[in-house]
Protein backbone atom coordinates (compact mmCIF):
# COMPACT_ATOMS: atom_id res chain seq x y z
CA UNK A 1 0.00 0.00 0.00
CA UNK A 2 0.84 3.67 0.00
CA UNK A 3 3.53 4.85 2.44
CA UNK A 4 3.67 8.53 3.37
CA UNK A 5 6.61 9.95 5.28
CA UNK A 6 6.46 13.39 6.87
CA UNK A 7 9.25 15.64 8.14
CA UNK A 8 10.01 17.20 10.50
CA UNK A 9 8.09 15.69 13.39
CA UNK A 10 8.32 18.95 15.34
CA UNK A 11 8.88 22.50 14.15
CA UNK A 12 9.30 25.65 16.21
CA UNK A 13 9.22 29.02 14.46
CA UNK A 14 9.20 32.65 15.50
CA UNK A 15 5.98 34.48 14.90
CA UNK A 16 6.09 36.07 11.48
CA UNK A 17 8.56 33.57 10.04
CA UNK A 18 7.70 30.85 7.53
CA UNK A 19 7.17 27.15 8.21
CA UNK A 20 7.71 24.34 5.74
CA UNK A 21 6.62 20.72 6.14
CA UNK A 22 7.64 18.06 3.64
CA UNK A 23 6.07 14.73 2.73
CA UNK A 24 7.07 11.94 0.40
CA UNK A 25 4.86 9.17 -0.96
CA UNK A 26 5.63 5.79 -2.44
CA UNK A 27 2.82 5.05 -4.92
CA UNK A 28 3.26 6.94 -8.19
CA UNK A 29 -0.45 6.37 -8.91
CA UNK A 30 -1.49 8.63 -6.02
CA UNK A 31 -3.28 11.68 -7.37
CA UNK A 32 -4.78 13.54 -4.41
CA UNK A 33 -2.80 15.18 -1.60
CA UNK A 34 -4.66 16.93 1.24
CA UNK A 35 -3.26 18.63 4.33
CA UNK A 36 -5.12 18.55 7.64
CA UNK A 37 -4.66 20.71 10.72
CA UNK A 38 -5.48 19.37 14.17
CA UNK A 39 -5.54 21.76 17.08
CA UNK A 40 -5.10 20.39 20.57
CA UNK A 41 -8.13 18.36 21.61
CA UNK A 42 -9.97 19.00 18.36
CA UNK A 43 -10.75 17.08 15.21
CA UNK A 44 -8.56 17.28 12.08
CA UNK A 45 -9.74 19.79 9.49
CA UNK A 46 -8.78 20.13 5.86
CA UNK A 47 -6.77 23.29 5.19
CA UNK A 48 -5.65 22.80 1.61
CA UNK A 49 -5.37 20.05 -0.99
CA UNK A 50 -3.80 19.54 -4.39
CA UNK A 51 -4.28 17.14 -7.27
CA UNK A 52 -1.54 15.60 -9.35
CA UNK A 53 -2.36 17.71 -12.40
CA UNK A 54 -1.40 20.87 -10.49
CA UNK A 55 2.07 21.83 -9.33
CA UNK A 56 1.18 24.50 -6.79
CA UNK A 57 -1.85 25.85 -4.99
CA UNK A 58 -2.14 28.83 -2.67
CA UNK A 59 -4.77 30.01 -0.21
CA UNK A 60 -3.87 33.22 1.62
CA UNK A 61 -0.90 32.38 3.88
CA UNK A 62 -0.72 28.69 3.05
CA UNK A 63 0.50 27.01 -0.09
CA UNK A 64 1.19 23.49 -1.22
CA UNK A 65 3.66 22.38 -3.88
CA UNK A 66 3.82 19.00 -5.59
CA UNK A 67 6.71 17.35 -7.39
CA UNK A 68 5.33 14.22 -9.05
CA UNK A 69 8.68 13.15 -10.43
CA UNK A 70 10.28 13.12 -7.01
CA UNK A 71 7.05 12.01 -5.33
CA UNK A 72 7.07 14.69 -2.70
CA UNK A 73 4.83 17.55 -1.69
CA UNK A 74 5.23 20.36 0.80
CA UNK A 75 3.13 22.71 2.91
CA UNK A 76 4.30 26.31 3.25
CA UNK A 77 2.90 28.66 5.88
CA UNK A 78 4.02 32.28 5.62
CA UNK A 79 3.82 35.03 8.25
CA UNK A 80 3.07 32.49 10.96
CA UNK A 81 0.76 33.46 13.80
CA UNK A 82 0.15 31.88 17.22
CA UNK A 83 -3.09 30.33 15.94
CA UNK A 84 -1.04 28.34 13.44
CA UNK A 85 0.26 26.25 16.34
CA UNK A 86 -1.17 22.76 15.80
CA UNK A 87 -0.37 19.31 14.43
CA UNK A 88 -0.35 19.14 10.64
CA UNK A 89 -0.89 15.93 8.69
CA UNK A 90 -0.23 15.29 5.05
CA UNK A 91 -2.00 12.48 3.20
CA UNK A 92 -2.04 10.80 -0.18
CA UNK A 93 -4.71 8.90 -2.06
CA UNK A 94 -5.27 7.15 -5.36
CA UNK A 95 -9.04 7.13 -5.27
CA UNK A 96 -9.89 10.13 -3.09
CA UNK A 97 -11.78 8.08 -0.59
CA UNK A 98 -8.92 6.12 1.00
CA UNK A 99 -6.24 8.32 2.54
CA UNK A 100 -2.82 7.31 3.81
CA UNK A 101 -1.57 9.81 6.39
CA UNK A 102 1.86 10.95 7.42
CA UNK A 103 2.85 10.79 11.09
CA UNK A 104 2.22 14.48 11.66
CA UNK A 105 4.25 17.60 12.42
CA UNK A 106 3.76 19.53 15.63
CA UNK A 107 4.19 23.22 14.82
CA UNK A 108 4.79 25.71 17.61
CA UNK A 109 4.77 29.41 16.82
CA UNK A 110 6.73 31.43 19.40
CA UNK A 111 5.43 34.87 20.19
CA UNK B 1 -19.46 21.23 15.40
CA UNK B 2 -22.55 19.35 14.18
CA UNK B 3 -22.75 17.01 11.22
CA UNK B 4 -20.78 14.05 12.44
CA UNK B 5 -20.88 12.97 16.05
CA UNK B 6 -19.10 10.38 18.13
CA UNK B 7 -20.00 9.12 21.54
CA UNK B 8 -18.88 8.89 24.19
CA UNK B 9 -15.96 11.32 24.33
CA UNK B 10 -14.12 9.19 26.88
CA UNK B 11 -14.54 5.46 27.39
CA UNK B 12 -12.95 3.19 29.93
CA UNK B 13 -13.01 -0.61 29.75
CA UNK B 14 -11.40 -3.57 31.39
CA UNK B 15 -9.17 -5.82 29.34
CA UNK B 16 -11.08 -8.69 27.75
CA UNK B 17 -14.28 -6.74 27.18
CA UNK B 18 -15.66 -5.79 23.80
CA UNK B 19 -16.67 -2.16 23.41
CA UNK B 20 -18.63 -0.36 20.69
CA UNK B 21 -17.91 3.21 19.62
CA UNK B 22 -20.70 5.20 18.02
CA UNK B 23 -20.43 7.34 14.89
CA UNK B 24 -23.43 9.16 13.43
CA UNK B 25 -23.64 11.68 10.59
CA UNK B 26 -26.52 13.78 9.29
CA UNK B 27 -24.63 15.09 6.27
CA UNK B 28 -26.09 12.52 3.87
CA UNK B 29 -22.56 11.36 3.12
CA UNK B 30 -22.09 8.03 1.41
CA UNK B 31 -18.65 7.02 2.66
CA UNK B 32 -17.60 6.63 6.27
CA UNK B 33 -14.27 5.74 7.87
CA UNK B 34 -12.71 4.75 11.16
CA UNK B 35 -9.18 5.81 12.08
CA UNK B 36 -7.00 5.16 15.04
CA UNK B 37 -4.65 7.91 16.22
CA UNK B 38 -1.64 7.13 18.40
CA UNK B 39 1.03 9.64 19.46
CA UNK B 40 3.64 10.09 16.73
CA UNK B 41 1.90 7.75 14.29
CA UNK B 42 -0.65 9.87 12.53
CA UNK B 43 -4.02 8.43 11.53
CA UNK B 44 -4.28 4.80 10.55
CA UNK B 45 -7.31 3.45 8.69
CA UNK B 46 -9.20 0.65 10.43
CA UNK B 47 -12.30 0.15 8.25
CA UNK B 48 -14.21 2.10 5.65
CA UNK B 49 -17.58 1.86 3.99
CA UNK B 50 -18.61 3.42 0.70
CA UNK B 51 -22.26 2.34 0.76
CA UNK B 52 -24.78 0.82 3.12
CA UNK B 53 -24.29 -2.87 3.88
CA UNK B 54 -20.76 -2.84 2.49
CA UNK B 55 -17.40 -2.18 4.14
CA UNK B 56 -13.73 -2.95 3.60
CA UNK B 57 -10.76 -3.51 5.85
CA UNK B 58 -8.23 -0.77 6.17
CA UNK B 59 -4.60 -1.09 7.16
CA UNK B 60 -5.12 -2.21 10.75
CA UNK B 61 -8.46 -4.08 10.85
CA UNK B 62 -7.37 -6.95 13.09
CA UNK B 63 -9.28 -6.97 16.37
CA UNK B 64 -11.98 -4.61 15.10
CA UNK B 65 -15.38 -5.07 13.50
CA UNK B 66 -17.92 -2.70 11.95
CA UNK B 67 -21.42 -2.64 10.52
CA UNK B 68 -23.19 -0.29 8.12
CA UNK B 69 -26.89 -1.01 8.37
CA UNK B 70 -27.89 2.64 7.91
CA UNK B 71 -26.33 5.39 5.87
CA UNK B 72 -26.11 7.63 8.94
CA UNK B 73 -24.39 5.17 11.25
CA UNK B 74 -21.06 3.31 11.25
CA UNK B 75 -20.34 1.81 14.68
CA UNK B 76 -16.95 0.31 15.50
CA UNK B 77 -16.52 -2.60 17.90
CA UNK B 78 -13.16 -3.02 19.55
CA UNK B 79 -12.94 -6.68 20.44
CA UNK B 80 -10.86 -8.42 23.07
CA UNK B 81 -8.65 -9.67 20.23
CA UNK B 82 -7.23 -6.17 19.71
CA UNK B 83 -3.90 -6.27 21.52
CA UNK B 84 -3.41 -2.56 22.13
CA UNK B 85 -6.85 -0.96 22.11
CA UNK B 86 -6.01 2.16 24.11
CA UNK B 87 -6.04 5.00 21.57
CA UNK B 88 -7.94 7.96 20.19
CA UNK B 89 -10.53 6.85 17.61
CA UNK B 90 -11.74 9.16 14.87
CA UNK B 91 -14.68 8.66 12.56
CA UNK B 92 -14.95 10.52 9.25
CA UNK B 93 -17.24 10.79 6.24
CA UNK B 94 -17.19 12.07 2.68
CA UNK B 95 -19.99 12.88 0.25
CA UNK B 96 -20.41 10.99 -3.00
CA UNK B 97 -17.81 12.22 -5.46
CA UNK B 98 -16.25 14.43 -2.81
CA UNK B 99 -12.69 14.61 -1.58
CA UNK B 100 -12.71 16.21 1.83
CA UNK B 101 -13.07 13.94 4.81
CA UNK B 102 -15.11 15.46 7.64
CA UNK B 103 -14.02 14.19 11.02
CA UNK B 104 -15.99 13.63 14.19
CA UNK B 105 -14.71 14.87 17.57
CA UNK B 106 -13.24 11.48 18.45
CA UNK B 107 -13.50 8.97 21.29
CA UNK B 108 -10.60 8.37 23.63
CA UNK B 109 -10.65 4.72 24.69
CA UNK B 110 -8.64 3.52 27.66
CA UNK B 111 -8.41 -0.19 28.38
CA UNK B 112 -6.81 -1.34 31.64
Pairing of strands B4-7, A19-25: unpaired
Contact check, Cβ <8 Å, B43/A6: no
CA distance A85 to A107: 5
Instruction: Report pLDDT for A2.
Output: 86
Chain B: closest CA distance from residue A107 (Å): 13
Instruction: Report pLDDT for B99.
Output: 78
Least confident segment among A44-48, B45-49, B85-89, B95-99: B95-99
Does the pLDDT value for residue B10 go beyond 60?
A: yes
CA distance B35 to B20: 14
Chain A partners within 8 Å of B104 (Cβ)? 43
Instruction: Report pLDDT for B21.
Output: 97
Least confident segment among A56-65, A71-80, B89-98: B89-98
Chain B: closest CA distance from residue A108 (Å): 16
Instruction: Report pLDDT for A78.
Output: 98
Could you give the 3-state DSSP secondary structure of residue B8? coil
Torsion of CA A3, B101, B103, B59, to 10 degrees: -30
- CA A29 from chain centre, in angstroms, equals 19
Does the pLDDT value for residue B1 go beyond 60?
A: no
Does the pLDDT value for residue A96 go beyond 70?
A: no
For range A49-63, the mean pLDDT: 94
Contact check, Cβ <8 Å, B98/A96: yes
Per-residue buried b or exposed e for A69-103, using 16+ beta carbons within 10 Å of the residue's own CB? eeebbbbbbeebeeebbbbbbbbbbbebbbbbbbb
pLDDT band, residue B39 (cuts 50/70/90): confident
Which chain A residue has the Cα nearest residue B95?
Answer: A97
For range B81-101, the mean pLDDT: 91
Could you give the 3-state DSSP secondary structure of residue A82? helix
Does the pLDDT value for residue A90 go beyond 70?
A: yes
Residues B5 and B21: beta-carbon distance below 8 Å: no
CA distance B80 to B55: 21
Amino acid sequence: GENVEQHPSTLSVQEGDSAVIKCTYSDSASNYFPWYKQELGKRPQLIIDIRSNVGEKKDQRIAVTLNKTAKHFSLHITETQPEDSAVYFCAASKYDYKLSFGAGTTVTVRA
Amino acid sequence: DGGITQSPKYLFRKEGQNVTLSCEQNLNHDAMYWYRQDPGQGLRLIYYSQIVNDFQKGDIAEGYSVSREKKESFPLTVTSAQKNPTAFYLCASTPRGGNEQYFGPGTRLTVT
